[in-house]
Amino acid sequence: MRYQPVMGLEIHCELLTDSKVFCSCQNEFGGSENTRVCPRCSGMPGTLPLLNKGAVKLAAKAGFATNCTVHNYSAFDRKNYFYPDLPKAYQITQFESPICTDGYIDVVGGKRIRINRIHIEEDAGKLVHDDYEGISLADYNRCGVPLIEIVTEPDFRTVEEVQDFVVQIAQRMQYSGVCDARMEQGSLRVDVNISLMPYGSDEFGTRAEIKNLNSVKSIGRAIEYEIQRQSEILDNGGEVVQETRRYNENHDDTKALRSKEEAHDYRYFPEPDIPPVLFTDEEIEEIRKEMPELPHKRFERYTEEYKIPAEDAKLIIAQKAFSDFYDEAVSAVPEYKMISNLMLGEVSHQLNETGMSIDEVRFSPADVAKTAEMAAKGVISKGSAKDMIVIMFEKGGAPEDIAKENGFIMDNDTSGLDDIIDGVLAAQADVVEKYKNGNEKLFGFIMGQVIKAAGKGANPALIKEALTAKLK
């Protein structure tokens, strides 16, 4: 390809407050249409907004989670436009003086992506289109839901950088309690600005904006499509038009929504009904102190201190609750790798099978830790450890009891083992012959026969040792 893609992002995150940003309506996803509205958020004339302090605090936390400066002074502005999902005909946002600026996140390949700003604003409602009746209906439940918008510089050059950034933002917002980052429910939505320039050039081309992408996969596909589309235009000597486009998952393409000629003049002006937000340095410091350990710091701890492979560490930190569970387990028993293996293996498998989340399971982090400890000490085999997890999923119970009741406690007494092995070797004389003639793969089969003969609770490690000695 002859062109270098250049991308920037605008990410909207719905804040995890109890109530909306300028009224006391419940802030929760769902609900019957127009049941979570009041005169304020439905834009009745004469009503006044009252700023939600919790929303401001979460916006500051988003700033700390992304290395931004959190400002002592920020203020609100009105962005004027008419659309049926916005009953006031203006959106309250922060234009001139956003709460956070000048942050960054390092993405794959060690590249630093600069964050221009994070500002607070209110969400709009939703239009529900009924194609059958040929009508559109307005649902105002989402009006006034608190949002932050994270705006990056156009620093992205590859799809991988964009996707890694979005995953990191989602995780950091989740860890900080700012946003649940459920992209499929629209609580985190991504707009991608994309333009192409010839390799070697440093002059950006004309950009198109793809709105409201709601999965990491869609982001990748929409960018790939847009690179293709713009390349073809440029190859044919045409000009890319500055416009807003929508990605359609079913068709896997992007379609123009509106061009620059139709772009709004938002006529921003300071919001007269909300005083500026003022923080003292001490207040900012108080909020900073509440920040939890962020996912990239956990990743470092897992890989550097605990020596967990990077791929595994990535999987553990992906969900905060899962990572918290792991942390609690290893703080009880420092069997880092064994606990990681159990959690990414049988625990994850069972969670996927049952559709449960880690908060809902019948066992505690201490139970997983105990199981790992028993396996590490050779009290039970690693295979039995997995079986124990399955049983704890189904019925719960103390690991020691489960191990006893199910005969998982290994017999580490090797006195009877010689006779058992001799018996198997005699019974499988022809297999043993082949093994001795060089077919080494048969070791596993012979080993299996001995374990079977030795019965439940036999210690595979000891059997392997004894069998290897015998077969020499």
Residues forming contacts to Zn ion in the complex (CB under 5 A) are: 23, 25, 38, 40-41
Residue whose C-alpha is closest to residue 268's, from 75, 74, 79: 79
Q: Which is nearer to Zn ion, 25 or 75 (CB)?
A: 25
Q: Which H or E run includes 466?
A: helix 460-471
Alpha carbon distance 367, 339 (integer Å): 11
Instruction: Choose between 103 and 144: whose C-beta lies nearer to Zn ion.
Output: 144
CB of 242 to Zn ion, least distance (A): 36
Identify which of residues 54 and 457 has a Cβ nearer to Zn ion in the complex.
Answer: 54
Q: How far is the CB of 120 from Zn ion (least distance, A)?
A: 17
Q: What letter represents residue 174's amino acid?
A: Q
Residue 403 in contact with residue 379, Cβ under 8 Å?
A: yes
Asked if 13 contacts 150 with a C-beta cutoff of 8 angstroms, the reply is yes
Coil/strand/helix, residue 86: coil
Nearest distance, CB of residue 139 and Zn ion, angstroms: 14
Give the residues across from 26 on adjacent strands: 19
**What's the min distance (Å) between Cβ of 368 and Zn ion?**
44
d(CA 463, CA 470): 10
Largest interatomic CA distance in the chain: 95
Nearest Cα to 400, choosing from 430, 375, 436?
375
Taking the complex as a whole, the smallest distance from the CB of residue 141 to Zn ion amounts, in Å, to 10
**Residue in 211, 250, 224, 242 with CA at minimum distance from that of residue 163:** 224
CA distance 6 to 22: 37
User: In residues, how long is the chain?
Assistant: 472
Give the nearer residue to Zn ion in terms of CB position, either 145 or 223. Answer: 145
Q: How far is the CB of 91 from Zn ion (least distance, A)?
A: 15
Least distance (Å) from Zn ion to the CB of residue 43?
10
Q: How far is the CB of 48 from Zn ion (least distance, A)?
A: 12
Strand-strand pairing, 243-248 and 253-259: antiparallel
Contact 97, 73 (CB under 8 A): yes
342 Cβ neighbours under 8 A, 6+ residues apart: 368, 371, 372, 385, 386, 389
Closer to Zn ion by Cβ: residue 23 or 294: 23
**How many Å apart are CA 155 and CA 454, to the nearest integer?**
63
Q: Which is nearer to Zn ion, 19 or 384 (CB)?
A: 19
Q: How far is the CB of 136 from Zn ion (least distance, A)?
A: 22
Is the Cβ–Cβ distance between 208 and 240 less than 8 Å?
yes
In terms of CB distance, is 39 or 84 closer to Zn ion?
Answer: 39
Check: CB of residue 410 under 8 Å from CB of residue 396: no
* Distance of alpha carbon 33 from alpha carbon 25, whole angstroms: 14
CB of 146 to Zn ion, least distance (A): 12
Which residue number, 41 or 169, has a Cβ lying nearer to Zn ion? 41
| Of 38 and 257, CB closest to Zn ion | 38
CB of 49 to Zn ion, least distance (A): 10
Residue closer to Zn ion by CB (options 76, 393) is 76
Beta strands 208-213; 243-248: pairing state = parallel
> Cα 140 to chain center, whole Å?
28
Question: Would you say 146 or 460 has its CB closer to Zn ion?
Answer: 146
